[in-house]
A and B are shown apart, each in its own frame.
Chain A
Amino acid sequence: MVGKANGNKKEAYMYFCEPMGKGRTVILILGILFGCQDIDNCTSDSNTDFMIVRFFDFETKAAKKVRFLVSTTEGSSLFGFPDDSLAIGLPLDPMDTSLVFVFDSDTSDFDYELEVRYDPTFQIFDPDCPPSLFFNGLDTLRSTFDSTSIQSIITNRQVLTNFEVYF
């Protein structure tokens, strides 16, 4: 039993410590080469084409659940958020650099407006994936909420909040 164990140890030693043969060298080189290849795929793209707006109570500064129907003043776009949400993701128009969102709440007669500016940027993330879109330089141009605060000027998967809205 002891002899067999020693034999295995010796084999292991020979396998790892003796000079490598040509075959193993080729395998090692191929392993290194393929190990260095990009393993990008479309799902690892961290760009996003929408901004995230998070809501807070103006008095208490506590997170606030909202139920909004959001449209843009340009007319056609309508985004519904029927469930109570602490934050909503709003797509931005890549053919423009500013957009006015109108927030219609079924619990209030008053519609809030938020006008934002941004710079759309297209990039080829990976040639095998569709072009990627993200927005940079986000800023508030006008707001009828009590207060707004910019948390991140870029849209990205790692970003949890672009705008904080207090009302």
Chain B
Amino acid sequence: MKSTFSIAFLILTIVGFSQNRPAGIVEPKLGLHELKIGANILRTGRTLLGSETKQHEGELSLGWNRWNYVFDFGTAKNERSGGYNYENKGSYFRAGIDRNFIKNVSTGNELSLGLRYARASFEDQLVYTTEDVGFGTQDINLTNSDLTARWFELNFSLRGKITAQLYTGFTLRWKFSRRISGEGMLQTFDIPGFGNTKRQNATSIDYYLMWRIPLKK
């Protein structure tokens, strides 16, 4: 119910902004005007610096007038230990649309608000030896081999030109309405692309480096 309200609020906000234009001014129609290809340098950077979470993510963004059609794809591998071993690995994608509020969208700069649908396919494993509570010490080896998760995201993005066709910027994400399927005796702790499952909702920030290919002169 909360998610339904959030989605409705976002759509109303985006539609409201898009209609807030002075009368008599006709906005030029750019049509399909750009393609941006990028990498999430925050996740890759953390991986290179030796984080226990190994992640890589790429982004494709297609600019159509004031709307950007965005597709992300990423992989993640988590290894946690401390008297136990927990491994979680898989991939995820996000697809969605952003409304760009920058005056001149043909510059490639962005200040946008958008919505994403995200889905992850992954597996996890726990290896652990229990304490003796009356049944002796027991070696636990649990695997969920076919896990899937889906969630939605409300995104706020900023992209700015560095030089030539090179752009950079961040995306703030609020992830909600998460659902996991395929769990057995082991409840999964990490979801690739989402984060840990301690809370039903999550927030994150991603930083991108992107190359812009103009599709209109």
Give residues in A with beta carbon < 8 Å to B.
Answer: 38, 40, 49-50, 76-79, 91, 93-95, 119-124, 127-128, 130-131, 133
Q: A131 with B133: in contact, given A121-B185, A124-B80 (CB under 8 Å)?
A: no
> Please, how many angstroms separate the alpha-carbon atoms of A122 and B138 in the complex?
13
Q: Does B198 contact A (CB under 8 A)?
A: yes
Residues B73-104 near A (CB distance < 8 A): 80, 82-84, 86
Contact, CB under 8 Å: B185 / A77:
no
Give residues in B with beta carbon < 8 Å to A.
Answer: 80, 82-84, 86, 126, 128, 130, 133-136, 138, 140, 142, 185-187, 189, 198
Contact, CB under 8 Å: A124 / B134:
no
Contact, CB under 8 Å: A122 / B140:
yes
Interface SS of B by simple majority: loop
A121 shortest CB reach to chain B, Å: 6
Contact, CB under 8 Å: B126 / A122:
yes
Nearest CB in chain B to that of A93: its residue: B135
B91 shortest CB reach to chain A, Å: 21
B77 shortest CB reach to chain A, Å: 15
> Please, how many angstroms separate the alpha-carbon atoms of A142 and B140 in the complex?
28
Contact, CB under 8 Å: B136 / A122:
no
A131 shortest CB reach to chain B, Å: 5
Q: A91 with B133: in contact, given A38-B198, A131-B126, A131-B128 (CB under 8 Å)?
A: yes
> Please, how many angstroms separate the alpha-carbon atoms of A76 and B135 in the complex?
7
